[in-house]
Amino acid sequence: MSSPSVAAARPVHLVSETNWGAISAQLPPFSRAYAESAGFKPTSARLLLLPGKDGSISAALFGIGADEGLGESPFLTGKLATDLPAGPWRIEGKLADPTLCYLGFLLGQYRFERFKMAAREAVSLLAPEGADTPRAQLIASAICAGRDLINRPANDLTTEALAFAAHELAGRFRANIREIVGPDLLTANFPLVHAVGAAAAHPPRLVDLTWGDPKAMKVTLVGKGVVFDTGGLNLKPDSSMLLMKKDMGGAATALAAAEMIMGLNLPVRLRVLLPIVENAVSGPAFRPGDIFRSRAGITVEIGNTDAEGRLILCDALSYADEEKPDLLIDFATLTGAARVALGPDLPPYYTEDEHLAQRIEAAGRAAHDPVWRLPLWKPYRSMLDSKVAGINNVSSGGFAGSITAALFLKDFVKNSKSYAHFDMYGWTPSARPGRPEGGEPQVARLVVELVEGLKKDRTTKS
């Protein structure tokens, strides 16, 4: 993501309803006449390329409507990465939030081209004056790496390959990492991670990455890493299986957030736990009606093998909880019920910590990474009761699926000072500015803002 030189870069004017008159007056007469004849209006995302005297493109007008702060469409400048002709550009004039403006463009540059043979000509943008360029570039790099992981098909992103991505990240930041694979999961007391992944050709595993000062605030991120979900013996219909390569989106989010935290050198002790499996069908597949003793000692009846994500998470959460972290967060593409309730863009989150909830809300607004709080409604816990075990992995009815999944996970967190669960979609169904269609590590940017905010709180109190 290199920046062009100022001399080589053609200007882009961000035109609002307020400043259009002033910008128009400053344009060369022939450019102003061309804009008028083309009927240019500063409506949101309207782009007009202005010719120079020699007929070549000399500048561009980009409409932002009445939203000069880009509050309603924060990554609107991502459209410049797709709509401008190839070559270097720069944004003309002062901006309300130059860092956000630049980040939107960088996020809009993303394409999943791992399997594309033909290279494309790139649009580049000079970082606007006043932008925190290193931060924007780091965030964009981490988000795009997360997108790449989610977009990779399951024949390419195997359990080994996802673990390798974590090893690669650890190597870049000199983090410690270890991995427990296959039958060793039973020896190490991760029975549910092993059970869910036992039927696959690529063995299940648990990745444990640690970084930072052991004496600092302990932040632990747990990401669901189901590289493909057939549903197991409760087999999904073909239409429901099409996007199941994205079922490791929680792991991709945890890695993206970790890359930003380490890249910004935040003063925390970071831990990332990734239970990684493929939910496949073969002789060793776990079955409806099976009962397993979890790492926490709670026996779990399998009501449905397609509710596998919460099974691998509960072992990982129990393991994380043993260390009593200051902040424990899990990310998972967990339930369709969350999408029915809030759609693909607004992941629900769950926490009993009011201060943490306030911080999450503030971080979501600051990072333009929206979420919505849903309740850990304790009366619904009885829906998970089992007649033969400590808990069933699915509820007895079709109601409140996202809430009951969150309540299931909450049973395995006892010692952490603060805990939150995010039920994310991990996918952009149709392209929007700065959000290409495909994988999206939702809430990763929020988490970085959250950790920074919590650190400020602790510093202020001390």
Q: Any idea what the CATH number is for the domain that residue 103 is in?
A: 3.40.220.10
Question: What does the pLDDT read at residue 116?
Answer: 85
Answer yes or no: do 171 and 82 share one domain: no
Output the pLDDT for position 459: 73
Here the CATH number for the domain that contains residue 269 is 3.40.630.10
The yes-or-no verdict on residue 2 having pLDDT over 60 is no
- Residues marked as catalytic: 236, 310
List pLDDT tens digits, range 280-338.
999 999 999 999 999 999 999 999 999 999 999 999 999 999 999 999 999 999 999 99
461/207: higher pLDDT: 207
For the stretch 188-205, pLDDT in tens is: 999 999 999 999 999 999
Domain boundary among 130, 155, 176: 130
- For residues 30 and 146, state if they share a domain: no
pLDDT at 461 over 80: no
**Nearest C-alpha neighbor of 92 from the set 177, 6, 160:** 6
Residue where a domain terminates, one of 130, 158, 184: 130
Distance of alpha carbon 359 from alpha carbon 344, whole angstroms = 22
DSSP string, 120-189: -PPEEEPPPTT--HHHHHHHHHHHHHHHHHHHS-TTTS-HHHHHHHHHHHHHHTT-EEEEEETTHHHHTT
In a domain, 287, yes or no: yes
Question: Are 98 and 157 in the same domain?
Answer: no
Q: What is the pLDDT of residues 222-255, one digit of tens each?
A: 999 999 999 999 999 999 999 999 999 999 999 9
Residue 3 has pLDDT above 60, yes or no: no
Task: Identify the bridge partners of residue 421 per DSSP, sorted by sequence position.
Answer: 330, 350
The answer to whether the beta carbons of residues 95 and 130 sit under 8 Å apart is: yes
229 and 84 inside one domain: no
Mean pLDDT score across all residues of the chain: 95
CA angle 161, 162, 166 (to 5 degrees): 110
Residues 180 and 232 in one domain: yes
Per the structure, the complete domain to which residue 292 belongs is given by 141-461
Q: What does the pLDDT read at residue 1?
A: 46
Lowest mean pLDDT among 49-63, 420-434, 447-461: 447-461
For residue 78, the SS3 value is helix
Q: Is the dihedral of CA 301, 304, 307, 308 positive or negative?
A: positive
Q: Which of the two residues, 370 and 55, has the higher pLDDT score? A: 370
In single-letter form, the type of residue at position 170 comes to A
Task: Determine the pLDDT at residue 4.
Answer: 53
Alpha-carbon distance 334 to 345, whole Å?
A: 15
